Amino acid sequence: MSTPTPGDPVVGVTVNEAVATWSPSSLGLTGSVLEVVRAPHPVLALEGATVDPLDPTMLTLAADLIATMRVSPGCVGLAAPQVGVAVQMFAVDVTNHPKTRTCHGTFVLCNAVVVEATRQEKAREGCMSVPDLTGDVKRPTRLTITGILPGTTDVLRLTTDAFEARALQHEIDHCNGLLFLDQVAGAHAIYPRQVYK
């Protein structure tokens, strides 16, 4: 049986609802907290391999990404390369972020591809794999992507905006071997991370 790819047509799925109603409990697994690798670790520069969303190893990885994201203060997304696995998978949850407008809760996507991006806006980004720096990155404020939820085979088309769109693009970049530092306009747009007490 072949695994569908993000270019395949979507049949009979209301996409945003499918993502919003998916939950980590759908995996039937309790994830483990993994170590987050830091730049310049070489895995962060690799383009991730596509994954079979039904592979039990990938389902375990999905649960691990969620568990690791949840114990990391301020974390709104985590990609597989950040835990040392060069594959196309990431977790996102922007639920409690003050800049969130559209929110689909906690979800994991495999093999995500940007199919439409509009209205670029510059904003500050940080990353667990680059803990000492932040940077100004131009990203789309409205984004449409395709991808597959782990444990399913339907290729979904998800449209979102504002902070969730930024978080998705940041994680897709990780899956393609890019850090936010690769997207800044130059050294003038990189800053030491502020620590507030």
- Residues annotated as catalytic (active site), given as ranges: 171
How far is the CA of 125 from the CAs of 34, 76, 149, 187, in angstroms?
22, 11, 25, 14
Specify whether the CB–CB gap between 140 and 122 falls below 8 A.
Answer: no
Cα 107 versus chain centre, distance: 9
Q: Which two tokens stand for residue 115?
A: 């199919």
Three-state DSSP class for residue 163: helix
How far is C-alpha 138 from the chain's CA centre? 17
Task: Name the nearest CA neighbour of 158 among 17, 51, 27.
Answer: 17
The residues pairing with 78 across neighbouring beta strands, listed in sequence order, are 91
- Measured distance CA(41)–CA(43) in Å, rounded: 6
Eight-class DSSP state of 97: -
